[in-house]
Structure 1
Amino acid sequence: MNAEGTLADRLYEAALVPELWTETCERIALEAGSSTASIFTVDGSGNHRYVTTPNIAEAFAQFVQSDARLDNVRPLRAMQRSPFSFVRVTDLLSAEEFANDAIQRDIIEPHGMQWEAGWAFQEPTGHVIVITLMRAKGLTHFSDEQLARLDLLKPDIARAAYMSSRLAFNEARSMTETLSMLGLPAAVIGDAGRAIAMNPEMETLSPRIRTGAGDRLILEGVGANALLEEAIEHYKAQAAPAVQSLPMAGRAGAPPLILHLLPVRRAARDIFSRSMAVLAVTQVGQVGPPDMRVLCGLFDLTPAEARVARAIAMAQTPEMIAASLGISLETARSHLKKIMLKTGTTRQAELVLLLSGLNAPNFSGGGRPEP
């Protein structure tokens, strides 16, 4: 198998297994005779996500935190001037622009790199995907032959990126469909704070919960809406955000609600997934122990942990749980610690409040699954 075929295969494998993107970048760099290779995405709000060869990771971390990313003209010019091929950055910037370029001066050169080439394209979701390569100081610039070899990979890079994005969207839709089967209204919130998938149960809550301009979720009531916005901003800023539960006051003919914001666990290398959190809604005032399927589906609890969680919601102590379930007190406490970790709670009282109302939903067919 030739080199292009081998690398093309790896691109499609990485589309399915995001953990392979770093190794794939290394393969791209080797194929191109480059010192580095990186792939980053930019959404409509200017949020950057990237994967790169380890030798330039520190520079990219600096780049996405700097103001220089806001003035980066490379992707737009590449799409305008060279939409069908890889291009040298020196062909995108004038000599004066290159000499005064903050990215080149403050980020690229201090990390031992000198020459840069890349390709940018916009996928159907509107996100811009950029593949950029750099050569170290002391080496010559990218040759026409090297760029031509990279151009042979463009169709596979584009298809792999689109495949990753489509799989990520299907995953988000699957999350809401799963919670729909449990009777829970749910929406998946993306990195930009927008609803990227919503099940029919959530849609029936409109206008109490609806989407507005830019597909942003809007809650009825200024207070509740402010709490949601604050929680979403907190999620954006945290590498490992915890579960948050937000109250929403009732009104005539409609009960109060609890909104559970649950972080989506995704691979750090999955730069194409835009799912940040799942918003699931339960009613206040429902009675009965939490449904096992809801507990497992919402918080990724094991069956054993779900049984302990149900008992906690029924105000049982660890000693009572151990006796009723026929397990040791140490095991009951171990399960409780894992439950609190997965639900993002720090006190048992918080856990009881969080689980309030998570009883088995009513199904229109008249049947009700066994807990």
Structure 2
Amino acid sequence: MLSSAIDDAIFDAGLHAEAMAELGPQLSAVLGTQGCWIQRVNPTHGEVMTAHGFDMSGERLYVERFYAIDPWLAKGMTLSPGKAHSLDHHIPVNSFLNGEFYTDYMRERADYVHCMGAHFHLEGQTYALSFQRALSVGPFDEAAEARFDSLLPSLRRAFLTTARLQQQADHISRLELAQDGAPLTILADRGFGLVWINHPIPVDAPVRTTEAGGQQRIDVGHGLGAAIRMATQGGAGQSSLLRVGRWAIEVDPVRDPPSRRPLALIRVRDTAAEAARRVRDAAIHYGLTAAEERLCASLLGGLSPQDHSDLAGTMISTTRSHLKSLMAKMGVTRQAEVVSVLASMRG
């Protein structure tokens, strides 16, 4: 009987990405192995997302060079899903020893060669687990398979929970992006192809699309091409912030929910319009006068009370009086807190 501690760890892994990343070493300790991979496999795009590997620094090498010839993926996925298998029974050890995958990848990582694994097909994804032992330790026996089998129902529930939570999060995000006032949001692939857009591009926005080969493509001006490449490079994609006049273009790495392929999430924000909406919402919420509303717009735009007075042609004492009234209505005591309150409005 396995301890309840590993059951608790598996349960936590279904709810928290951090716990999933820590699950591999815990499973390895319970099953007496030197290495563990927990993978989400999408054969269509040739991507493998590794929640934990025995050498995380080698993940990119594995994805780029050995995914197609990994004996576990090539043979293991043809076996019965949801059941532990010692791959030694199905894959000759020589297929490891004589292959490029073993020579270039596994031999560098302490001679791992014996493999035991299982996989599940859940919510359009395949989740694969594989455990490795060094050649000198010896193969997995029936007792090891039985221990692994006893964990599989809990692991299946954890993966299913993870998949459904991700689906719900993606659905909620897209609903929010479709609301009126949501910033222009675009999903683009690494070839600059338009995958999804939440509403038509404003005429004056600094992002444009063209049609090429029957597909809409993102124009790559203003540094957008380089930002998309950085976000979709795989592994640890990088975020970028571009500024074009009153527009801010945020580019972040994401994964397509069905396929997990790398995409760029592009948010095109009209910062002037957002600031105006924040001031308007604050005026309604706090019952501001027109003069106080104009002062809010200046403060949110980075102007000082003196700057505001000079531009408005009013006495600084009048502006300070408006600021004092404004702080009282917002329940704050400092000018910086006024700006913080304004910035927290929905926009």
> Deviations for 1:262-295, whole angstroms, at most 9, x for unmatched residues?
42699xxxxx9878654445679x868343399x
> Deviations for 1:134-184, whole angstroms, at most 9, x for unmatched residues?
123421111111012212222222221122122112212222333444522
Residue 236 of structure 1 corresponds to 232
Q: TM-score w.r.t. structure 2 length?
A: 0.64
Tell me whether 1:223 sits opposite 2:219 in the alignment.
Answer: yes
Tell me if the contact between 1:115 and 1:136 (Cα under 8 Å) persists in the aligned partners: yes
Structure 2: 5+ residue stretches without partners: 281-294, 309-319, 328-332
C-alpha separation between the residues in 2 aligned to 1:114 and 1:12? 29
C-alpha separation between the residues in 1 aligned to 2:105 and 2:55? 10
Residue 97 of structure 1 corresponds to 95
> Deviations for 1:309-339, whole angstroms, at most 9, x for unmatched residues?
9658847479859x979868xx79xx9xxx9
Q: Which amino acid aligns with 1:122?
A: H
Superposed displacement of residue 72, structure 1: 2.1
Residue 37 of structure 2 corresponds to 38
Residue 132 of structure 1 corresponds to 130
Superposed displacement of residue 79, structure 1: 2.0
Superposed displacement of residue 67, structure 1: 1.1
C-alpha separation between the residues in 2 aligned to 1:242 and 1:42? 28
SS of the counterpart of 2:275? coil
Residue 172 of structure 1 corresponds to 170
C-alpha separation between the residues in 1 aligned to 2:37 and 2:120? 14
Tell me if the contact between 2:241 and 2:250 (Cα under 8 Å) persists in the aligned partners: yes
SS of the counterpart of 2:138? coil
Q: TM-score w.r.t. structure 1 length?
A: 0.60
Q: Which amino acid aligns with 1:289?
A: A
SS of the counterpart of 1:80? coil
C-alpha separation between the residues in 2 aligned to 1:101 and 1:278? 39
Tell me if the contact between 2:241 and 2:249 (Cα under 8 Å) persists in the aligned partners: yes
Identify which range, 23-32 or 190-199, moves more after superposition: 190-199
Q: Which amino acid aligns with 2:231?
A: Y
Tell me whether 1:263 sits opposite 2:259 in the alignment.
Answer: no
> Deviations for 1:195-228, whole angstroms, at most 9, x for unmatched residues?
89875x46999xx989999xx9835xx7369987
Identify which range, 274-283 or 87-96, moves more after superposition: 274-283
Residue 107 of structure 1 corresponds to 105
> Deviations for 1:68-88, whole angstroms, at most 9, x for unmatched residues?
223224224212134342223
> Deviations for 1:48-99, whole angstroms, at most 9, x for unmatched residues?
221226x5334445423x4122322422421213434222333343354233
Q: Aligned-residue CA RMSD in angstroms?
A: 4.9
Tell me if the contact between 2:239 and 2:250 (Cα under 8 Å) persists in the aligned partners: no
Identify which range, 18-27 or 69-78, moves more after superposition: 69-78
Structure 1: 5+ residue stretches without partners: 248-256, 267-271, 295-307, 340-368
CA separation of 1:136/1:318 partners in 2, compared to 1, >3 Å: closer, same or farther? farther
Map 1:137-152 → 2, pairs under 5 A: 137-152=135-150
C-alpha separation between the residues in 2 aligned to 1:76 and 1:106? 18
Tell me if the contact between 2:36 and 2:132 (Cα under 8 Å) persists in the aligned partners: yes
Tell me whether 1:18 sits opposite 2:17 in the alignment.
Answer: yes
The structure having more radius of gyration, on CA atoms, is 2
Superposed displacement of residue 235, structure 1: 0.4
Q: Which amino acid aligns with 1:42?
A: V
Tell me whether 1:78 sits opposite 2:76 in the alignment.
Answer: yes
Tell me if the contact between 2:68 and 2:74 (Cα under 8 Å) persists in the aligned partners: no
Tell me if the contact between 1:209 and 1:217 (Cα under 8 Å) persists in the aligned partners: no
C-alpha separation between the residues in 2 aligned to 1:280 and 1:21? 29
Superposed displacement of residue 234, structure 1: 2.3
> Deviations for 1:227-263, whole angstroms, at most 9, x for unmatched residues?
877643320225331234689xxxxxxxxx9794442
CA separation of 1:119/1:211 partners in 2, compared to 1, >3 Å: closer, same or farther? farther
C-alpha separation between the residues in 2 aligned to 1:27 and 1:67? 28
Tell me if the contact between 2:120 and 2:126 (Cα under 8 Å) persists in the aligned partners: yes
Identify which range, 184-193 or 159-168, moves more after superposition: 184-193
Residue 52 of structure 2 corresponds to 52
Q: Which amino acid aligns with 2:277?
A: D
C-alpha separation between the residues in 1 aligned to 2:296 and 2:228? 26
Matched residue count:
297
Residue 292 of structure 1 corresponds to 278
Q: Which amino acid aligns with 2:27?
A: I
> Deviations for 1:85-117, whole angstroms, at most 9, x for unmatched residues?
222333343354233222222222221133222
Residue 365 of structure 1 corresponds to none
Superposed displacement of residue 192, structure 1: 7.7
SS of the counterpart of 1:97? helix
